Amino acid sequence: MEKFGLIGHPIAHSESPEVFAKAYDGRWPYDLIEGEDFELSWQRFLDGYRAINITTPFKELAFRKVLESGMVDDSVRAIGAINIAVKEADGLVHGYNSDYLGVRLLLQERGFGEGSTVLVVGFGGAGKAAAAASRSLGCDTIICNRTRHTPDMRPLEEISILAPVADMLIYTLSVPIPEMSQLAGFGGAVLEANYRTPCLADLPGYISGKFWHRAQAITGYPLMTGKPVQHPL
């Protein structure tokens, strides 16, 4: 029987097994492959699983592993991280990023595209994926981050100036920052990655990170199983 799972650390709290079971009515097993050692976790995937999800802190390590002898597309290269690895029919491990796919789906569902302005706060793995997804749809994409990795990246102190021109704000940091207090009255859509302890839920137009998680499953699970999601999530 084909097996699926999740690697990362710590992952005991993960809801992924329940979400996967619901998506496919329990058709396939889905394991939490717990471990601090990436190489051991990756080898367990190669030895016994068709496909895996990947979470912190292994997304960039897995990306580099797939680059060595597998396959990733240009969108994944731009992000530099994967959260899905699949053994494909060509004999290679293919890497995908459902953070990217999930945000892209949410933006499309809500009609954002050319002519829309998206403000992404944070530029870790989720922020990079959100920015890449926004750009792929032709949105004017602005990135705010504490560290300015590129000349066009804006400092967090400018959030109050940039937010009023944005149609959507995507907040990818795991904790609140003082600058977010400047968003009172922001009228655009707000997507927050952290759905366990959100900090922006009081804003109008708020979209819980649970919808991002759902969109990741809808777009990512078919890549893993070769089958569309069978049950509404």
pLDDT digits (tens, 9 = 90+) for 9-21: 999 989 899 999 9
Distance CA 121, CA 93 (A): 32
Q: CATH 3.40.50.720 occupies which residues in the chain?
A: 100-212
Q: What is the pLDDT of residue 131?
A: 96
Strand (E) or helix (H) holding 140:
strand 140-144
> Dihedral of CA 62/105/173/30: which sign?
negative
In CATH terms, the fold of domain 4-96 is: Rossmann fold (3.40.50)
At 88 the pLDDT is 94
Residue of 59, 65, 87, 128 marked active site: 59
Residues 217 and 43: beta-carbon distance below 8 Å: no
Does the active-site annotation cover 128? Answer: no
The predicted-structure confidence for 172-205, as pLDDT tens digits, reads as follows 998 889 988 888 778 899 999 998 899 999 999 9
Distances (CA, A) of 166 to 120, 220, 227, 230: 10, 28, 36, 36
Confidence of residue 40 (pLDDT cuts 50, 70, 90): very high
CA distances from 13 to 16, 34, 42, 74, 153 (A): 9, 11, 20, 32, 34
Write the burial class of residue 169 (CB in 10 Å: 0-12 exposed, 13-18 middle, 19+ buried): buried
Q: How far apart are CA 233 and CA 30, in angstroms?
A: 17
Q: What is the rounded average pLDDT of the residues 23-37?
A: 96
Residue 26 has pLDDT above 80, yes or no: yes
Q: List where CATH 3.40.50.10860 sits in the chain.
A: 4-96
Quick one: tokens of 197? 């302890």
d(CA 142, CA 126): 15
Q: With H, G, I as helix, E, B as strand and everything else as coil, classify residue 170.
A: strand
Task: Write phi, then psi, for 184 (nearest 5 degrees).
Answer: -55, 125
Contact criterion met (CB below 8 Å) for 129 and 81:
yes
Amino acid at 171: Y
Q: What is the pTM of this model?
A: 0.92
Distance CA 81, CA 97 (A): 7
Domain 100-212 indexed as CATH 3.40.50.720 = yes
